[in-house]
Amino acid sequence: MKENNIFQKIINKKIPADILYQDEKVTVFSDINPKAPVHFLVIPNKIITSLNKIEKKDKNLVFHMLNIAILIAKKKKIYNTGYRLIINCNNHAGQEINHLHIHVLGGKRLKSI
């Protein structure tokens, strides 16, 4: 895996991060600029540059990402009160890193969108 973005460097532990979970498919870490009391990212260890680049062969990986988001929501005690999943896709949506990632936010009442 080439290390050409910050997420890949986090996956490979080349830069420090508050890693909450990691397995062979995904890495989960706290957001460095949280928008809620609980804010973490779920990223695939495989390079997928955006939501638009998911292929049929990635369906199990995406399902795993969602399952891990739920697992960490339970560990962070936001499972019952509620949480939000956000995937920004491309520049106009606010995607800053060209690596698919799910933001998971909770820990307070979030404003409706």
Q: What is the pLDDT of residue 3?
A: 56
Strand 102-106 relative to strand 26-30, pairing: unpaired
The residue assigned the tokens 């060209």 is: 98
Q: What is the pLDDT along the chain (113 residues), one digit of tens a residue?
A: 455 899 999 999 999 999 999 999 999 999 999 999 999 999 999 999 999 999 999 999 999 999 999 999 999 999 999 999 999 999 999 999 999 999 999 999 999 98
Q: What is the pLDDT of residue 1?
A: 42
Domain ranges of the chain: 6-106
Length of the chain: 113
Q: What is the CATH architecture of 6-106?
A: 2-Layer Sandwich (3.30)
Q: How many CA within 13 A on the CB side of residue 41? A: 25
The residue assigned the tokens 């690596």 is: 99
Q: What is the pLDDT of residue 46?
A: 96
Whole-number Å distance between alpha carbons of 73 and 41: 11
* Residues labelled catalytic: 101
Whole-number Å distance between alpha carbons of 1 and 94: 25
